Amino acid sequence: MNNLINVLFFNDKNYNAKMQLFFAISFPSFTLLALGIDSVYFKEHFFDGRDITNVLSVLYFSFFFWFSDSYLRKLMFVMVFLSYLGEFIFCTLLEMYDYRTALIPIYVPFGHAIVFASGYVFAHTQFAVKNDNFFRKCFAVAFTALFLSVGFFLKDLFSLTFGIFFFLLLKRKRWQNLYYFIALCVIFIELAGTYFKCWKWAPKTFGLIPTSNPPMGAVFFYAGGDILLTKIVDYWKSKTTNKPIEIAIESENCPF
């Protein structure tokens, strides 16, 4: 078991930067394919493709996970479980949105991990790092315009409110572009998911705040979850820094 944990989370032997980038770049096309199969249209004209989407998502996650570096693997692994918790809170308890079926699809937590990983990879490309200041300014202007636009034209008070919280959160994180890149992936998957009617946001969040479908302000909740995710993984990493070394010593002393 220790050897398995070491291979999965503390070993970069299978890390492949090109493949990791490939899966990040393929995120949009895969999202359209997977959610299209789970769509209401697909069900009405063919059959319920939910199981196919579940399998595709788990497989995509697995390959993405396998070719990623050890730190991103930890993030993706924890994100699956953290996402389940988030879905229970925001979907089941708070009823901020609903899926086309009563149960939360299996593919959703894996999808959240894929979204995070894609944004993470984009943010750490040489091009993004080299043009960090440029992207930061562009993102700030673009997201401000986005929140104001949906607030004014769609009467989306939810996005106006939580858009402000999104910027306050980024200010605390020193305006890291990582959260902007992840937010772009979030917006894409939200637009795709609601277009295919895989899920739908409530017209009024908490029965009070007017909300569009989907609300752009949802990126705040994703960003908050991402920050919690990194804290959990960094704590895990700090507690297991010497684990691969200890396992290696045990293996060397093993007579078999």
State residue 254's pLDDT score: 40
The answer to whether position 152 is within a domain reads: yes
Average pLDDT over residues 187-212: 96
The answer to whether position 4 is within a domain reads: no
pLDDT digits (tens, 9 = 90+) for 151-196: 999 999 999 999 999 999 999 999 999 999 999 999 999 999 999 9
The answer to whether position 114 is within a domain reads: yes
| Per-position DSSP letters for 199-243, written without gaps between them | EEE-SEETTTEE--SS-GGGHHHHHHHHHHHHHHHHHHHHHSTTH
State residue 241's pLDDT score: 64
**Lowest mean pLDDT: which of 48-57, 83-92, 101-110, 232-241?**
232-241
**Lowest mean pLDDT: which of 13-17, 76-80, 151-155?**
13-17
State residue 12's pLDDT score: 78
State residue 4's pLDDT score: 66
Average pLDDT over residues 244-251: 38
Q: Judge whether residue 247 has pLDDT over 80.
A: no
Find where tokens 């004014």 sit.
152
Average pLDDT over residues 210-226: 95
Whether the link from the prior residue into 214 is cis, omega within 30° of 0, is yes
Q: Is the dihedral of CA 232, 236, 237, 239 positive or negative?
A: positive
The answer to whether position 10 is within a domain reads: no
The answer to whether position 15 is within a domain reads: no
Which residues neighbour 151 within 8 Å (Cβ) at sequence distance 6 or greater?
Answer: 157, 159, 160, 163
Q: What percent of the chain has pLDDT over 90?
A: 84
Q: How far apart are CA 210 and CA 69, in angstroms?
A: 41
Q: How far apart are CA 256 and CA 106, in angstroms?
A: 40
Average pLDDT over residues 84-88: 95
State residue 164's pLDDT score: 96
The answer to whether position 7 is within a domain reads: no
The answer to whether position 255 is within a domain reads: no
- 1 — pLDDT class (breaks 50, 70, 90): low
Q: Domain span at residue 243?
A: 21-250
| Per-position DSSP letters for 79-134, written without gaps between them | HHHHHHHHHIIIIIIS-SEEESSSSPPTHHHHHHHHHHHHHHHHHTSHHHHHTHHH
The answer to whether position 165 is within a domain reads: yes
- The tally of domains found in the chain comes to 1
pTM beyond 0.75, yes or no: yes
